[in-house]
Amino acid sequence: MKYLITGGNGQLGSALKNILPKEECLFTDVGELDVTDREAVLEMVEKEKPEYVLHCAALTNVDGCETNIELADKINHLSVEYFAEACNKVGATLFYISTDYVFDGEATSPYGVEKKPDPKSVYGKTKLAGEEAAKQAKKYYIFRTSWVYGEGNNFVRTMLKLSETMGEIKVVGDQFGRPTYALDLAKGMKEAIEKKIPYRDYHYQNSGETISWAQFASEIFEIAGKNTKVIPISTKEYLEMNAEKQVASRPHYSVLETSKLEQIGINLPDWKSSLEKYLVN
């Protein structure tokens, strides 16, 4: 067994399913392996002896994390400790996926890998603790990424669904970043493994211009041929509209500096061409 994958039914897990050789993979999701169960994690890793654990399971509902702090910590952080321990026992490499939410989100230029993290949400705090746990593995990769879309629930799908019934949609226009196609990220992980790049943390984000969520929505509608109008609103207006919900603090700036992977020769496609591929398929 070469790859043991967790969160196999999620966006990234599904993308990995499309590109990794089936016979070399064991895909699991919560039904096969609950990553919060330390004994189960140790038992499966010791039994399967993978070369790589691609740990994609996470609690990604950022608002949900605010009200489920214990569960968020178990899935996003403690599970990584279990995998680091298990990987060390069998000599496997742990591949952990993290997020721009580990930063304060207030920068005005791209976050370098070495920039000091300062998470403002439960999701960001638990993912940062997960990174620290991943570093307990003797062999590890950490890829921080952002605004991921693929198979499953995501911003692109939500916008397309809303456009079926709404002529205009209010979307936040003062939070900026770059989207990342899950299939590109999966390919980047595979490339990193094949190239045997040095064990450490990296930033993986699709390249291209920095945009707001509102601009991203406009681009989605343009490529998909929808007439829905996008009305940019401020984060403040968005929070007022959702006053009854417990909304997590969102980064105003989510652009990651990706030169470490670029220098190694890992492909970081332009987000616009990847979005076109995603919407055309």
Ligand X SMILES: NC(=O)c1ccc[n+]([C@@H]2O[C@H](COP(=O)([O-])OP(=O)(O)OC[C@H]3O[C@@H](n4cnc5c(N)ncnc54)[C@H](OP(=O)(O)O)[C@@H]3O)[C@@H](O)[C@H]2O)c1
Question: Which residues, listed in sequence order, are joined to residue 259 by a DSSP beta bridge?
Answer: none
Q: Which of 63, 94, 109, 82 is nearest to 249 (CA)?
A: 63
Question: Which residues, listed in sequence order, are joined to residue 52 by a DSSP beta bridge?
Answer: 3, 93
58 contacts ligand X (rule: CB under 6 A): yes
Is 3 considered catalytic here?
no
Catalytic residue among 123, 149, 181, 278: 123
Stretch (H or E) spanning 27: strand 25-27
Rounded to a whole number of angstroms, the minimum distance from the CB of residue 61 to ligand X is 8
CA-to-CA dists, residue 17 to 27, 108, 168, angstroms:
8, 36, 36
93 contacts ligand X (rule: CB under 6 A): no
User: What is the rounded distance in angstroms from the CA atom of residue 187 to the CA atom of residue 267?
Assistant: 8
Q: What is the DSSP letter of 269?
A: -
Candidates 41, 44, 45, 57: give the one binding ligand X (CB under 6 A). 57
220 contacts ligand X (rule: CB under 6 A): no
Rounded to a whole number of angstroms, the minimum distance from the CB of residue 275 to ligand X is 14
Site for ligand X in 117-146 (CB under 6 A): 127, 145-146
Candidates 1, 2, 17, 34: give the one binding ligand X (CB under 6 A). 34
User: What is the rounded distance in angstroms from the CA atom of residue 18 to the CA atom of residue 15?
Assistant: 5
User: What is the rounded distance in angstroms from the CA atom of residue 220 to the CA atom of residue 275?
Assistant: 8
Q: Which residue is nearest to ligand X (CB)?
A: 10
Question: Which residues, listed in sequence order, are joined to residue 99 by a DSSP beta bridge?
Answer: 145
Rounded to a whole number of angstroms, the minimum distance from the CB of residue 227 to ligand X is 27
Candidates 35, 80, 142, 230: give the one binding ligand X (CB under 6 A). 35
Q: Which residues are catalytic?
A: 123
Task: Name the site residues for ligand X (rule: CB under 6 A).
Answer: 6-7, 9-13, 29-30, 34-36, 56-60, 75, 97, 99, 127, 145-148, 152
